[in-house]
A and B are shown apart, each in its own frame.
Chain A
C-alpha cells in the first residue's frame, strides 16, 4: 500500500523558520516532491529530492532520507504569503507515472 503522513496543521511566526515533516511507506520510490497549494488553487511545484541529502532553493529547502522514509521541507524567513497547504508527494514507480500525495500540512503564518 501507499501511505504518506504529514502533520495536519502548523502555525509559525512571520520571519521565523518552520520545518514540515513527511514520512512515507510506498511500494517503490522514484522521487519525492513538495508542492504549495493555496486554498482553491492548483498546487505549484516547490522542490524535488531523489537522492539523500538537502536541496536548497532560496528560502525553501527540502531534505530526504530514503533509508528512513523521511523528508522535510524547511521554510526560512517566513512571510504572510507563505500561509498555504504544503503537500508531500511520492513517485513510486518509474516512467511517466502519477504522484501519490499526502493530505497536506496547512501552515498559518502569524504576525
Chain B
C-alpha cells in the first residue's frame, strides 16, 4: 500500500531556532500533501495544503510566514517552523493520497509524525 515517510520523528530545539520537517511519498507521487498538527489529547487540526509547484494554502489562523511549506517535487514536501517558540511544541504529521491506485474516496495515508519540543 501507499507509504508516507516523515523525518525526523523527534526533534528538540531551542526557542528562536528553525526546524525543517520532511514528508516523502515513497511509492507514489503526491501532487498534494496535507499538514496537520495535534496537541496532546486534541484532534488533528489541518494546518495547510501543500501543492507541488505552487503556493501552499493555509488554514485560518495559521501563519504562513512562520510555517513555511515547500513542495518542490512530486514526492517531497517540507514544513519549516521558523523562529520556534515553546507554544509550537506539538505533533506535526503529514498525509497524502495515492491517486494513481485509487480515487479521491481513498483514505489519507499518514507519515509517522514529528514530535517537536521547543525549549
Contact = CB atoms under 8 A, between A and B. Distances in A.
Interface stretch (B12-20, B42-50, B62-70, B77-85): B42-50
Nearest to A31: B105
B7 interface: no
A111 interface: no
Given A87-B43, A103-B43, A96 B107 contact: no
A26 to B, nearest CB: 13
B105 A43 contact: no
B29 interface: no
Interface string B94-119: 01010100001101111111010000
A94 B104 contact: yes
Given A87-B43, A98-B49, A104-B43, A45 B107 contact: yes
A48 interface: yes
Nearest to B4: A42
Interface string A23-52: 000000011010100001111110010100
A95 interface: yes
A86 interface: no
A43 B95 CA distance: 10
Interface residues of B, number: 27
B44 A101 contact: yes
A87 B99 CA distance: 23
Contacts of B46: 98, 100
Interface in A55-111: 87, 91, 94-104
Contact of B111 (A31, A42, A103): A42
Contacts of A87: 43-44
22 contacts: A30-B104, A33-B107, A33-B108, A40-B113, A42-B6, A42-B111, A42-B112, A42-B113, A43-B93, A43-B110, A48-B105, A50-B105, A87-B43, A87-B44, A95-B104, A96-B97, A98-B46, A98-B108, A99-B108, A101-B45, A102-B43, A103-B41
Closest 7 CB pairs of A and B: A42-B110, A45-B107, A103-B43, A101-B44, A98-B34, A101-B43, A42-B112
